[in-house]
Amino acid sequence: MCAALDLGTNNCRLLIARRRGAGFQIIDAFSRIVRLGEGLAASGRLSEPAMERTVAALRVCAGKVARSGVRRARYVATEACRRAANCAEFIDRVRRDTGLPIEIIASDEEARLVVAGCAPLLDPAVPNALVFDIGGGSTELVWLTQGEGLAVKGFMSAPHGVVTLADRYGGRAVTSEIYDAMVEEVRASLAPFEERHAISRLVADGSLQLLGSSGTVTTLAGVHLDLPRYDRTKVDGSVLRFAEIDRASRRLAALSWEERAAHPCIGEERADLVLAGCAILEAICSLWPAGRLVVADRGVREGILLGFFRGAA
């Protein structure tokens, strides 16, 4: 039995699984929005309320791990812990209070795990892929080619995530001017990646596919599908055309915070973050207009588990 935990700027997620064929079977799972990085952009530190929320979630995870008889595990933290001045104290506190040894991973390792987790969804007939993960504190992009295997041609970690943008621009009353400003800021930060690699040239002949792994793209898929409640089996591996992304984003932008909070695929905890995510996604789509996007409800945790079961992690 193996466990993988991904502690991000916004979410704490755990998967416990055992080997099944070439992949794995999920035995238990846990996900909670903890907003570990709330206020981090302004203070440079993890706040006490955020740490308390996160430690409470990690205690639940530790209990699940203990009850499941896990023999191999990896517990990783990403952007919030990479940036916080008091991250070492927080990690010590987590180990003391929960027994979990949290490992802070670099952005390139985070991207590698996302790619490993999402790779089964890539179309092998399309030679190039831009895989991205819109997180709470950053957005990772990886340009890959497919041949004998996956080869990374370019990587970028942009300092824009749904929490960092919402903290600065506000997430409740988002005017069209505020939304456009977010899009332009993110686009400007991503432009050097396009200038360096000229990935957009691959769009014309259909040799580029886009795959997104994040709460933003899975939420938009749920909104587009008019799901009465979020359903991973309907979302993971689904395809969103750019026109559908635009319609879903505009639909959300027209709602009040209360209406977004009442949406079955959003809820109160994401209602003030979802438009920041839409702005990041719009910036990505405008730079690399491939016309369609594969939606992945998977990422770091799945990458860790596949590495365990294939002996690569």
- 195-209 in b/e form (b: 16+ CB < 10 A) is eebebeebbeeeebb
The mean pLDDT value for 45-73 works out to: 97
> What angle in degrees, to the nearest 10, is found between the helix axes of 242-253 and 274-287?
150
Using DSSP, state whether 84 is helix, strand or coil.
coil
Confidence of residue 101 (pLDDT cuts 50, 70, 90): very high
Q: What is the pTM of this model?
A: 0.90
Q: Confidence class of residue 148 from pLDDT cuts 50, 70 and 90?
A: confident
User: Which fold is adopted by the domain 115-300?
Assistant: Nucleotidyltransferase; domain 5 (3.30.420)
Query: Are the C-beta atoms of 54 and 7 separated by less than 8 Å?
Result: yes
Q: Phi first, then psi: give them for residue 212, nearest 5 degrees.
A: -115, 135
pLDDT for position 21: 82
Q: How far apart are the C-alpha atoms of 210 and 132, rounded to whole Å?
A: 8
Residue entry with tokens 């294939």: 310
pLDDT in tens, 257-313: 999 999 999 999 999 999 999 999 999 999 999 999 999 999 999 999 999 988 645
Q: Residue 122 above 80 pLDDT?
A: yes
Once rounded to an integer, what is the mean pLDDT over residues 75-102?
97
Q: Name the strands in the sheet holding 150-158, side by side, starting at the edge strand that comes first in the sequence.
A: 150-158, 139-146, 128-134, 208-213, 292-296, 239-241
The confidence score (pLDDT) of residue 46 equals 97
CB 183, CB 283: distance < 8 Å: yes
Q: What is the pLDDT of residue 224?
A: 96
Given this chain, do its domains 2-105 and 115-300 carry the same CATH topology? yes
Question: Is there a contact between 238 and 252 (Cβ–Cβ < 8 Å)?
Answer: no
250-287 residues labelled b (16+ CB within 10 A) or e (exposed): eebbebeeeebbebebbeeebbbbbbbbbbbbbbbbeb
CATH architecture of the domain formed by 2-105: 2-Layer Sandwich (3.30)
Give the residue among 49, 40, 52, 112 at the shortest CA–CA distance from 81.
Answer: 40
Domain ranges in the chain?
2-105, 115-300
User: 12 phi and psi, to 5 degrees?
Assistant: -120, 120
When the pLDDT of each residue in the chain is averaged and rounded to a whole number, the result is: 95
Beta strands in 34-161 (DSSP E): 72-77, 103-104, 128-134, 139-146, 150-158
pLDDT at 311: 64
Q: Is the dihedral of CA 6, 172, 190, 284 positive or negative?
A: positive
Express each pLDDT in 4-22 by its tens digit. Answer: 999 999 999 999 999 988 7
